[in-house]
Structure 1
Amino acid sequence: MLSIRKVTSIAPVIRFARMCTGEWGSGAGKGGGGGGTIRDAGGAFGKMEVAHEEEYFYKQRQEQLHKLKENLIKHEDFHEESIKHHEEAIARHKKAIEGLKKKK
């Protein structure tokens, strides 16, 4: 014999999930946050703190990228200079070899 189960609504689960999620700085929960940091407290100050953190890390990433680019340019210059010196050395050696061949 088959039994038919009563299907319950998932509305309470969705409602709970909406309460738990939110944007950064909106607070730790309905109780007004954990009482710790400004970010946990929520509200305008929490959102402002998130904006400051994001700005700080954005500037830090930009500075790191700038230093990386400068470092790569220095490496490129170094290698171009090395190539130039090697080509000059090759030319000197070829000239010395030609001089030795003429003496034979």
Structure 2
Amino acid sequence: MSIENLKTFDPFAEADEDTGDTKQSQNYIHIRIQQRNGRKTLTTVQGLPKKFDQKKILKVIKKKFACNGTIVTDSEMGEVIQLQGDQRKDVQEFLVDKKEGLELDAKTIKVHGF
């Protein structure tokens, strides 16, 4: 009796072409809410495709939803859009909207929060 599988498996490692493992090619857009102080909240949007200009998206969102926002560069997450208030549903509808939004697929958007 021979044992063929002596390699250790790291579930968090990136898949490569040598082993033949397929890599998850679908990147998700995460919309999260964070509690600040009191009733104040902060909405973060991360994982937007690189083909979109985040400064222009932020400008449109700020005007459309009457909230303030900024772009923060994070070492792990890349560029993250931060918005004041609970804007989760509004941002999700904006990203999916075909007329005035970005026309993204609703399956690629994950909304987190309480």
Q: Same fold (TM over 0.5)?
A: no
Question: Which one has the bigger strand percentage?
Answer: 2
Question: Which one has the bigger helix percentage?
Answer: 1
State the TM-score, normalizing by the size of structure 1: 0.24
State the TM-score, normalizing by the size of structure 2: 0.23
Between the two structures, name the one with larger relative contact order (CA 8 Å, sep ≥ 6).
Answer: 2
Larger radius of gyration: 1
